[in-house]
Amino acid sequence: MKNVSARAPSSTANLGPGFDVFGLALDAYYDEVQITKQGRGITIESSDSVPLEPEKNSAGLVVREMAKKFKIKDGLLIKIKKGVPAGFGMGSSAASAAAAAIAFNALFDLGLDPNSLVKFAGIGEKASAGSIHYDNVSASVLGGFVIVRTDPLDVIKIDPPKDLVLCVAIPKINVPKKKTQVSRGVLPQQVKLSDYVKNLANASAITTGFINKDVELIGHSIKDIIVEPARKHLIPGFDMVKTNALKAGALGVTISGAGPSVISFTSKSADHKKICKAMEKGFASADTKCTTVICRPSKGAFVL
């Protein structure tokens, strides 16, 4: 085989109280990565605005690491087609990293298990977050709802309920370069024990909701009193977006990953257009425009 292409979905991380632990693959957007044995060293081509230096690009970092690990001597050309908006908390770097890991695994017939694929894909997150976190890449690689345990890395996947629908509002604001690193920089280093207890209870309820396919339980447990309060000042109009969406029928609302997108958890029977409009109005109260998307959980990355 000379080349392989793979596609990986967008994702939302944290789901409120599950900071760096929970991820959910979303069928809103997809990235495509093709790896071809060609030339010398690693080169990246893309008509989208992504860094072309392998060490600054999430797919490039993954391919570089995998080539090193498996002693691949071929030159490799990586072509990237971005579908996931970069820097908005929709798992953009993770989608490219996941697609790269899946394509590389197939191109060299490595037969890697899911945890190993996630581990390699996680290396790509250094490009935007400065450090590795596995929530988005796990969702992008495996699909569905994921729980990430580290030391050693072990990802648990649960199939989401079929009637879970997400409304995402993506504000049109300038995001800083390395946005995830910036939004991790505002987080407290220590938390109050009573806050930890409340977040842990809600995180446990979310997991139970996914196991029991109970959308109401998931939605009503999307409550985070540690990370959301520390980050929300980075999102213009966040409080109004949340209040409006809840009034319009969302079950739970929080920051999508490191933001600035805001995500509403809803059931199939909710009025999704109304919830999107309510979120738009919330952003408008802070003179900010946004794009909204209604989506569902996605399956994981796959070879095309």
Which positions make up the binding site for ATP? 85-95
**Which of 57, 136, 207, 298: binder of ligand HSE (CB under 6 A)?**
136
Q: CB under 6 A: which stretch of 14-22, 209-217, 242-250, 260-268 binds ligand HSE?
A: 14-22
Place of tokens 């290396």: 123
Among candidate residues 32, 65, 125, 228, the one labeled active-site is: 125
How far apart, in Å, are the Cα atoms of 76 and each of 41, 43, 100, 203?
6, 6, 12, 41
Q: CB under 6 A: which stretch of 31-39, 130-138, 140-148, 200-208 binds ligand HSE?
A: 130-138
Residue 96 in contact with ligand HSE, rule: CB under 6 A: no
- The residue with its CB nearest to ligand HSE is 257
Closest approach of ligand HSE to the CB of residue 258, in Å: 4
Looking at residue 132, the DSSP 8-state letter turns out to be -
Looking at residue 54, the DSSP 8-state letter turns out to be G
Closest approach of ligand HSE to the CB of residue 32, in Å: 20
Question: Distance between CA 202 and CA 254 in Å, rounded?
Answer: 13
Residue 104 in contact with ligand HSE, rule: CB under 6 A: no
Residue 14 in contact with ligand HSE, rule: CB under 6 A: yes
Task: List, as residue ranges, the binding site.
Answer: 85-95
For residue 63 the two structure tokens come to: 């391919």
228 catalytically annotated: no
Residues 6 or more apart whose Cβ sits within 8 Å of residue 298: 9, 10, 25, 26, 27, 143
Among candidate residues 12, 36, 180, 207, the one labeled active-site is: 180
Looking at residue 171, the DSSP 8-state letter turns out to be E
How far apart, in Å, are the Cα atoms of 16 and each of 45, 95, 98, 169?
36, 21, 23, 16
Question: Distance between CA 72 and CA 70 in Å, rounded?
Answer: 6
Residues 254-283 that bind ligand HSE (CB under 6 A): 257-258
Question: Distance between CA 100 and CA 36 in Å, rounded?
Answer: 11
Give which of 5, 18, 25 is closest to 224, Cα–Cα: 18
180 catalytically annotated: yes
Residues 39-68 that bind ligand HSE (CB under 6 A): none
Residue 224 in contact with ligand HSE, rule: CB under 6 A: no
Closest approach of ligand HSE to the CB of residue 72, in Å: 29
Residue 20 in contact with ligand HSE, rule: CB under 6 A: yes
For residue 230 the two structure tokens come to: 């520390």
Q: Are 158 and 147 in contact (CB under 8 A)?
A: yes
Residue 105 in contact with ligand HSE, rule: CB under 6 A: no
Question: Distance between CA 38 and CA 47 in Å, rounded?
Answer: 19
Residues 158-197 that bind ligand HSE (CB under 6 A): 180, 184
**Which of 13, 26, 62, 77: binder of ligand HSE (CB under 6 A)?**
13
Closest approach of ligand HSE to the CB of residue 95, in Å: 11
Residue 138 in contact with ligand HSE, rule: CB under 6 A: no
Q: Name residue 21's amino acid.
A: V
Binding residues vs ligand HSE (CB under 6 A) = 13-14, 19-20, 89, 133, 135-136, 180, 184, 257-258
Q: Which are the catalytic amino acids? A: 125, 180
